[in-house]
């Protein structure tokens, strides 16, 4: 409807008229909206694969969730949009399938992705919560980038409702000052920009809080609390909202408020009543399994004794060679455990000497502590080396005096 409208910020002296089409490929127009969504998706995938181990996720499991999650998200998002905007498709059945023309609801995307992950994890009998945690961090980053596709499409703008607070009216007056009202001028609020900024801030909140999470699923709940809170207020400004059938209730605003309240209530309940144990998190379980696998590589005394008895006496296996083999095996096991503990420290996980989970901290804080510890060890080592040098003359004089005493 507004494809040919220029977008202006008169108070800043900015006016742009970007094309919706990014490029043409094999005669097909590729829109900026799709390009930006793809960019957000790729960046999110890179982020996820770099942090899978931090959440105790096997990369193959996440790849499988991705394969079934993307089409599921698109299908549910389309159904969500059509259900609450059916009048736009009445009389043209095949237009229901033209998703390249637009018409995907964000809450439908979220619902479709969550359903796909939960179903896959139930079938494979693995924990869904850590996968959902990491997915939400990726999703909110992709949303922050993808919202600029709305800007280029001239959509997801907003107008002021009658009961708008005075401070928001002043903002609109500032952006539209010196404009002449007319058919060619449509003062609007850049709600796409509000949501993009809110999502970008949310990404950093979720990212840094993920280092301090206490249980699997906490980031998932925090995402809905954060996004729902912001979307509830931003949706009230939009001019293209989906409404609950013939009522004046905005569907996305209703859903945003509901998920925000429910998420906060669940987080409070878990913190007060359940008191989660961090040692039950997927990443802690993964580290314990690694430690158990390393322990299994070293034979116990009970299994080693029968094996020694079965060796014929005639073979005359040298005892020294057996001792060397056992020492080498013990050394290899100790080195493997040390590597595992070091890798866990890089991920912010504290393990004891047996590889058991102790606590979870910020990796940056861990690096600072290790650096200070190494500096302290270096200083103490230097003091230790200088002590013998000073002690040698004293020892020498003591010997001489002892000799004189014996002669006398």
Task: Name the helix (H) or strand (E) containing 92.
Answer: none
pLDDT over 50 (residue 399) = no
Q: Residue 172: which pLDDT band, with cuts at 50, 70 and 90?
A: low
pLDDT over 80 (residue 357) = no
pLDDT over 50 (residue 406) = no
Give me the sign of the Cα torsion angle 50, 55, 56, 61.
negative
Helix axes 59-83, 32-51, angle to 10 degrees: 150
Between β-strands 7-9 and 28-31, what pairing exists: parallel, antiparallel or unpaired?
unpaired
Task: Output helix, strand, coil percentages for the chain, rounded to the nearest 5.
Answer: 70, 5, 25
Residue 334: which region, alpha, beta or left (left: phi > 0; alpha: psi -120 to 50)?
Answer: alpha
Dist CA 399 CA 69 (whole Å):
82
pLDDT over 70 (residue 327) = yes
Q: If we measure between CA atoms, which residue out of 360, 355, 358, 362 comes closest to residue 339? A: 355
pLDDT over 80 (residue 50) = yes
Q: What is the percent of the chain where pLDDT is above 70?
A: 72
Dist CA 30 CA 258 (whole Å):
36
Structure token digits, residue 403:
């000799």
Q: Which residue has the higher pLDDT, 309 or 377?
A: 377
What is the pTM (predicted TM-score) of this model?
Answer: 0.68
Residue 298 has φ and ψ, to the nearest 5°, of -95, 120
Dist CA 112 CA 70 (whole Å):
8
Residue 28 has φ and ψ, to the nearest 5°, of -110, 130
pLDDT over 70 (residue 397) = no
């Amino acid at each position: 409807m507004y494809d040919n409208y220029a977008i202006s910020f008169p108070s800043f002296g900015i006016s742009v008229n970007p094309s919706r089409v990014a490029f043409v490929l094999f005669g097909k127009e590729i829109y900026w909206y799709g390009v930006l969504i793809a960019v957000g998706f790729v960046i999110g995938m890179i982020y996820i694969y770099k942090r899978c181990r931090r959440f105790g996720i096997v990369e193959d499991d996440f790849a499988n969730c991705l394969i079934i999650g993307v089409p599921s998200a698109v299908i549910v998002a389309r159904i969500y949009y059509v259900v609450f905007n059916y009048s736009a498709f009445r009389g043209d059945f095949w237009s229901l399938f033209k998703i390249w023309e637009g018409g995907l609801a964000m809450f439908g995307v979220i619902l479709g992705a969550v359903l796909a992950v939960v179903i896959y994890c139930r079938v494979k009998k693995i924990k869904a919560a850590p996968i959902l945690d990491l997915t939400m961090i990726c999703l909110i980053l992709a949303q922050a980038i993808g919202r600029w596709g709305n800007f280029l499409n001239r959509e997801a703008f907003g107008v002021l409702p009658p009961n708008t607070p005075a401070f928001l009216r002043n903002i609109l007056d500032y952006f539209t000052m010196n404009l002449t009202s007319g058919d060619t001028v449509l003062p609007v609020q850049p709600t796409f920009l509000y949501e993009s900024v809110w999502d970008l801030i949310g990404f950093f909140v979720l990212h840094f809080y993920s280092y301090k999470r206490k249980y699997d699923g906490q980031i998932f709940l925090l995402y809905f609390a954060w996004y729902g809170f912001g979307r509830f207020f931003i949706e009230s400004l939009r001019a293209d909202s989906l409404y609950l059938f013939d009522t004046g209730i905005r569907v996305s605003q209703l859903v945003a408020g509901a998920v925000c309240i429910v998420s906060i209530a669940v987080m409070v309940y878990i913190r007060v009543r359940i008191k989660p144990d961090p040692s039950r998190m997927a990443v802690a379980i993964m580290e314990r399994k690694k430690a158990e696998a390393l322990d299994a590589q070293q034979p116990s005394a009970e299994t080693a004794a029968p094996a020694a008895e079965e060796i014929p006496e005639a073979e005359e296996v040298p005892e020294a060679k057996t001792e060397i083999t056992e020492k080498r095996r013990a050394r290899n096991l100790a080195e493997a455990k040390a590597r595992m503990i070091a890798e866990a420290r890089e991920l912010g996980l504290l393990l004891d000497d047996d590889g058991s989970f102790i606590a979870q901290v910020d990796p940056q804080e861990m690096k600072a502590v290790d650096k200070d510890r190494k500096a302290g060890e270096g200083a103490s080592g230097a003091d230790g080396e200088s002590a013998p040098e000073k002690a040698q003359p004293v020892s020498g004089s003591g010997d001489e005096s002892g000799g004189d005493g014996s002669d006398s």
